[in-house]
Structure formats: structure tokens, C-alpha cells
Structure 1
Amino acid sequence: MKIDGFLLAMLAAVVLAFLAPRLGAEGGALHMAQVTEIGIALVFFLHGANLSPQSLKAGAANWRVHLAVQATTYILFPLIGFAIFFGLSSVLAYEVRLGVFFLCALSSTISSSVAMTSMARGNVPAAVFDASLSGIIGMAITPSLIAMVAAVSGKPFPILPAIGDVALTLLLPFAARKPIINRLDRGVIVLIVYTAFCESTASGLWWRYSPWVIAEIAAIAAILLAVVLGVTTALSRACGFPLADEVTTVFCGSKKSLANGAPIARILFAGNPAMGMIMLPIMLYHQLQLIVCSILARRYAARAAAAAR
């Protein structure tokens, strides 16, 4: 079994943050605040949203699939997030609920959605369109949803500057037309994760929670993924989608982007010592979606191959 280097790097970053949090915390010897600001730009510059106008045009026609995917990403997920945030206020800490809601408010992935769709013999042009469109919509929707929850919780923040910062960061790679460079991209994500966990550890955040809290977050992420996979599959079949379109709907609709989430968290929660806890749900969900969707992609590919015989 091949070892996932990205997962190992993230685990190493978390361990290092626990062992020497002052090095990476704000004002520390590594000056991670400044490095992370550069990292935010690099993540979107290298990974960006892969927004090729040609790809968008090629996949634009399949409106029923696009509607299903975007409704799942920006209606179903946030509704579940609202239910967890407000419904479990007596059970889960504020930072945990905010982290789960942040996960639900994020856009879909680009690279893994398209890669999984291709592996499963799905509708790749539609997947490229949907994943790219999700990133564009997320520039405004993600900060707006977080601002809504923060306002209701009595912790408002300026929404227009947040949307402006996110949009500027996302649009830079689109204007520059830069390709994705996976190793550098993932390295920057690991850097951001390291910084967040250094700041959380230095502030003493983790000592306020038991290991059961981490287990609860993992369970919520697993249940959330299972629910959305089930809903997108049922919706695709109820709409009579062909297998290729079902694949696109399931994979693009169920994915959440850690590549977008890490730097967006730095923008929306700048200076918040609980950012490590806020990011933990998307980190766990990211690993779960890769494992589960890889298995599903192989099964879909086998079905497509059998149907083609």
C-alpha cells in the first residue's frame, strides 16, 4: 500500500506544532505570520481555481448537473452546517461548531474532483465546469455564510473586506493563467496548517479539550460525508442522470476544498487563536473524502467498463 506523503507531512506539521509551538506562533523566531501571508498568495497562484475559459465553455451546457452540484455545495451543506452550529450548541464548543460550519461553507475541490471523475469514467468537462464555478461562487458565499453565523453569535466581522480579500486572492491565478504545481501547492497548505496549530498550541487551546472532542469531530465529518454521498447519489438517480453525470454530481457535490479552506481561514479568522480547531474539521474531512471517493471511483469505473462490454 502506497504511503500518502501529503498526509504524513500534515501529521508531521501538527506534531512539530505541539512540540515547539512558539517557533511558528505569531512573533516567533520563524516569522510565520509573514511567511503565511506569502503562502496564501502562493496557494491560489499555484493551485488557484484552474479556471480555464475553454474548460468552462466546454462543460457549461449540462445545466441540470450544475444545478445539482451547486445546490448540494451551497444549499444542502450550509443547511446541515446551520443545524449542527445552532442545534448542538449545548453539546459542542463554539470553536468546534464554527469549524464544522466553515467546512460546510467551503467550495468544492478542483483537482481531486476532476481526477476522481476521470478515474470513474464520469463527465470530465462538466466536473471541470462545476468545480471551477464552485470556486467562483465561494468567493462571496463562504465569507457571507461565516459572517451570518458570526453576527447571530454576537461576534460580527466586516464582510465586504473579507469578500474582497478572498476574491483578490482567488482571481490572481485566473488573471495570470498559471498551472498547478502540486508539490509546491501541498507544501504551502502544510505550512498554513503548521502555523495554525502553532498558534492554537501556544495559546493553550488544545489543553481545554479532551481527546473525545477530536473523536467527535471525526465522527461528524464521517457522518456528513456519508449523508452527502447518499443524497447526491439518490438525487442523480431520481433525476435520471446517466452514469457519467451521476459520477460528476456525486464527486463534485460531496467534495470540500482544503486547498481553498486553509488560506481562506487565514483571511477570515486572522488572529484567532482557535484557528487550529476551526481548521480541524476540513482537515479530517479532506482525508476521509480522498479515501472513500477513491474506493467509489474504482467501483464506478468497473460499472462503466461492464456497461461498455
Structure 2
Amino acid sequence: MSSRTSRRIPTLPSWLPVDPYILALIGTVALAALLPASGAAAEAASGASTGAVALLFFLYGARLSTAEALDGLKHWRLHLTVLACTFLAFPLLGLASHGLVPHVLTPQLQDGFLFLCLVPSTIQSSIAFTSMARGNVPAAICAGSFSSLAGILLTPLLAALLLGGGTGGFSADSLVKIVLQLLVPFLAGQLLRRWVGGFVARHKKVLGYVDRGSILLVVYTAFSEGMVGGIWHQVTPVRLGALMAAEAVLLALMLSLSWYGAKRLGFGRADRIAIQFAGSKKSLAAGLPMASVLFGAHASLAVLPLMLFHQMQLMVCAVIAKRRSRDPLPESGEMSQVPVTVA
């Protein structure tokens, strides 16, 4: 990997008490609590949210390089391991959380807990933590991209299968909405990437604000509907503390499984780092828009576990990455990496 490519890899601070974007999300939730949209304003916000989600996934499609994804298939064992962590181990642990109802979690919070287990992995923070820990960065890039791509199909399908009788009321109509609002814009972005890819790359910073602004709009709409529907009496401080404890256990289990499981499968240190960070984390950027489509008026409670888990994983993984960065490197060629060009 060239020095120019290395400089482009995002890094995170060694101590990350609070992600600034989480503060923006909290502020959006507070705004929805104080000034929820209702009536005609709610309809306008809902329409704008639908358009924002479609734009978000169009940009995802326009950014993803098919050539890079195909090149990354050379490390297929690593990618299958990450996908197994994300879409097999996580969902199984999510199903096990049914045992926490009703004494620890309410049924609605458990639905949200299970939903977070179905969401794809992150891309940017997985790359950043892998880079900080001196792991296989190109593999982390490809693993996160594959997970996000697979999640567009697997997350709604798993949700329909595992949450069919839950709050969201999943049906064939829900899957049609997923196809129209998520998959079609994503495929359009891929098809038009030849013409719009350069524009997207040149205006990456500005479009990044579009991404985040779209997600904030989705959060405002979802939590406004929750406030108008009067569902927040279900989340007491005790329930919130119990949810955070359950998520801490979930994160600890997945961090351990991805690290020691990768060792049992014969992966070297660099690959194990990429597997741990890509296989133990969940994407807030992908999960929030999906929840708004799948859960509708119940999305506010559904996304609460994901928002909490996102901040928790950033704080814990920052500490782990800093510790791994001090590990002695092997003398063999274990640090070899899959050649990938970072766009």
C-alpha cells in the first residue's frame, strides 16, 4: 500500500469520550421531544425523510467501486468470516435476547435490540480502528463494503423473518418499500457511477454533510412520531440502564468471538484485527434509514438500541485499538495486505 494511500486512511483520536455526531443525534432527539412534527408538518417531514433516504442510498451506490470490491474477493475467507459474525452470530445473540423479556427489556426494546443485531457493519470507523491498531487496512475496507452491500438485502430479509410478528408489522409491503426506497436508488447509483462518480469524489466533504443531514432528518421524523404516539412512557431510566447493560454484554461477546474465533481459523494478527473491528460493529448510517422504512411509526424505539450501541462500540474499540497499536509486530510476512486502491 503506497504512502499516499496510507495518508488517506482516516484515523480516530486515542481517546474518544463522545462522538460529535452522537451529540447531534441527541440534540435532534431533544428537538423532536420539545417540538415534534404533527399534522401537515409531520406529513411534510415524512415525505422529506423518504426522499433523503433514497438520496442517501443513491450516494452509497455511486461511491462503491465495483473494481475494488472484486479485487477484495482475493481475501474471501476473511470476508466470509466477517459476514458470518455480522449476519449469523449477531442475529443468534439477538434471538437469545428474547429471554430478557419482560424482566430486563420490554418487547419493543427487545425488537430494537434484535434489529441492531441485523444491521450491517461499519466502513469508516472499522478502517480507522484497524489502521490505528496496525491491522490489514485494505481487508477492512473491503469487508465493510461487502457487509454494507449485503446488508441492503440481508437486513430487511432477516428482519422480515425474525421480526415478522413484532412492532414493525413486517409484510410483503415492507419489503417492496425496502426495494423502492433502498435497493433501487443504490442500484441507480451503481449504474450511474461512471458519470457521477467523479462528482461524488470531488465533493466528498459536502456530500458527507448531506449524508449526515439526511440521517438527522430521519431521526427527527421517527422520534416526532414516537412523541405524538405517546410511546416514551415505556422507556424508564431503569429500562434504559438494563438495555445498556445488555448491549455491553453483546459487544463483549462479539469482540471476543471475532478475535479468538479468527485465531482458531488460522488468521494472522493483521487479519484478526480487521475481523475484530469489522465483525463486532454496527452501522448507524445504514441502520437508521432502514429502521425508518421497516418500523414506520415505531422507528423511534427501534433505533434507540442502535444509537446507544454505536456510541458504546466507538468508545470501547478506541481503547482496544490504542492497546493493539502497542503490540510487537511479528517478524514474518504476516502483515502482508490485499492490494486495494482507496478511492
- TM-score (normalised: structure 2): 0.81
Task: Letter of the 1:297 partner, please give it.
Answer: A
Could you tell me how far apart the structure 1 residues matched to 2:38 and 2:279 are?
35
- CA change 1:277–1:160 in 2 (3 A) is closer
- Residues 135-150 of structure 1: matches in 2 within 5 Å? 135-150=148-163
Pair 1:219-2:245 in alignment: yes
Displacement of 1:196: 1.1
- Residues 15-164 of structure 1: matches in 2 within 5 Å? 15-21=30-36, 24-25=37-38, 27-28=40-41, 31-47=44-60, 50-84=63-97, 86-91=98-103, 92-152=105-165, 155-158=169-172, 160-164=175-179
Tell me the residue number matched to 2:295.
269
1:182-238 CA-to-partner distances (Å, cap 9, x unmatched) read 333222222211221111111111123312122222222221111100111111222
Count of paired positions: 303
Displacement of 1:157: 1.2
For the residue of structure 2 that corresponds to 1:60, the secondary structure is helix
- CA change 1:169–1:282 in 2 (3 A) is farther
Could you tell me how far apart the structure 2 residues matched to 1:201 and 1:153 are?
20
Which of 184, 197, 201 does residue 168 from structure 1 map onto? 184
Question: Greater CA deviation, 159-168 or 183-192?
Answer: 159-168
- Root-mean-square deviation (Å): 2.4
Are the aligned partners of 1:66 and 1:130 in contact in 2 as well (CA < 8 Å)?
A: yes
- CA change 1:307–1:226 in 2 (3 A) is farther
Could you tell me how far apart the structure 1 residues matched to 2:43 and 2:160 are?
31
Could you tell me how far apart the structure 1 residues matched to 2:330 and 2:136 are?
17
Task: Letter of the 1:100 partner, please give it.
Answer: F
Question: Greater CA deviation, 275-284 or 56-65?
Answer: 56-65
Q: Name stretches of at least 5 consecutive residues in structure 2 with no aligned partner.
A: 1-14, 333-343
* Sequence identity percentage: 38
Tell me the residue number matched to 1:295.
319
1:226-252 CA-to-partner distances (Å, cap 9, x unmatched) read 110011111122223211101110011
- TM-score (normalised: structure 1): 0.89
For the residue of structure 1 that corresponds to 2:41, the secondary structure is coil
Could you tell me how far apart the structure 1 residues matched to 2:321 and 2:188 are?
32
Are the aligned partners of 1:221 and 1:285 in contact in 2 as well (CA < 8 Å)?
A: yes
Could you tell me how far apart the structure 1 residues matched to 2:165 and 2:245 are?
26
Could you tell me how far apart the structure 2 residues matched to 1:29 and 1:75 are?
37
Q: Name stretches of at least 5 consecutive residues in structure 1 with no aligned partner.
A: none
